[in-house]
A and B are shown apart, each in its own frame.
Chain A
Amino acid sequence: GNSVTQMEGPVTLSEEAFLTINCTYTATGYPSLFWYVQYPGEGLQLLLKATKADDKGSNKGFEATYRKETTSFHLEKGSVQVSDSAVYFCALSDQGNFNKFYFGSGTKLNVKP
């Protein structure tokens, strides 16, 4: 079956530090991969996505590369800001079933000034 595993939080960083949040997945076929962000009291917002192997998704300074050989989709940012403090969810969807997502449990990021 499909599943997503991501690193547990919380992750606490100082402003301008480098961020990595690990995400690995199990899936049949060729899933699409996503990172969503949830700010306090808000719904989920799509941060970036990749639909095939070796694709790199990027947005707002965040990047993630679809690695089929390691079944991973790690999220990275070179220099975090206080405003990046949120919960980050890795997710996958089956090929052809795009909005039926399988989410990881989320990683809370705290960025201190």
Chain B
Amino acid sequence: NAGVMQNPRHLVRRRGQEARLRCSPMKGHSHVYWYRQLPEEGLKFMVYLQKENIIDESGMPKERFSAEFPKEGPSILRIQQVVRGDSAAYFCASSATGEGAFFGQGTRLTVV
């Protein structure tokens, strides 16, 4: 059983472009969580999704950021019109129930 798969591992975008980060949860997991890690900081919760539903998006910036977890396919974190301050590592975690999350290796976004 493969772990939580995130791609790409590294992503470079110019200011104003869009960034799409993908997360394939572990097999059988229907709960997905996204976290952001700014340089030299801990991870900050962004959003919690179940299949086709956003459960808790209290950590998502109000503008430019969106997340989805469709019935089929990976969860997507989308950042529109990226700015330098969006440069960070974005981690996805998944679980089968509401506890016991496994983290992916992260996507490191660099905005130039």
Are A99 and B101 in contact, with the CB atoms below 8 A? yes
Are B98 and A101 in contact, with the CB atoms below 8 A? no
Residues of A within 8 A of B69 (CB): none
Q: A69 → chain B, closest Cβ, in Å?
A: 25
| A45/B103 contact (C-beta < 8 A), A99-B31, A99-B48 known | yes
| A99/B103 contact (C-beta < 8 A), A105-B41, A105-B42 known | no
User: At the interface, yes or no: A102 with Cβ under 8 Å from chain B?
Assistant: yes
| A100/B48 contact (C-beta < 8 A), A44-B43, A89-B42, A89-B43 known | yes
Q: B109 → chain A, closest Cβ, in Å?
A: 15
Q: B106 → chain A, closest Cβ, in Å?
A: 5
For B35, B103, B104, the residue with the greatest tally of chain A CB atoms inside 10 Å of its CB is B103
| A98/B45 contact (C-beta < 8 A), A43-B91, A105-B40 known | no
User: At the interface, yes or no: B66 with Cβ under 8 Å from chain A?
Assistant: no
Can you name the residue of chain A whose Cβ is closest to the Cβ of B33?
Answer: A99
Q: Looking at the complex, which one of A43, A45, A103 makes contact with B42 (CB distance below 8 Å)? A: A103
Of residues 72 to 101 in B, which have CB atoms within 8 Å of A's CB atoms?
91, 93, 95, 98-101
Determine chain A's interface SS by DSSP, over half rule: strand
Q: Looking at the complex, which one of B4, B56, B98, B103 makes contact with A98 (CB distance below 8 Å)? A: B98
Are B95 and A99 in contact, with the CB atoms below 8 A? yes
Are B43 and A103 in contact, with the CB atoms below 8 A? yes
The answer for the CA separation of A105 and B39 in the assembled complex, in Å, is 10
User: At the interface, yes or no: A106 with Cβ under 8 Å from chain B?
Assistant: yes
User: At the interface, yes or no: A31 with Cβ under 8 Å from chain B?
Assistant: no
Can you name the residue of chain B whose Cβ is closest to the Cβ of A96?
Answer: B98
A31-62 interface bits toward B, Cβ cutoff 8 Å, 1 = contact, 0 = none = 00000100001111100000000000000000
Are B42 and A106 in contact, with the CB atoms below 8 A? yes
Residues of B within 8 A of A98 (CB): 95, 98-101
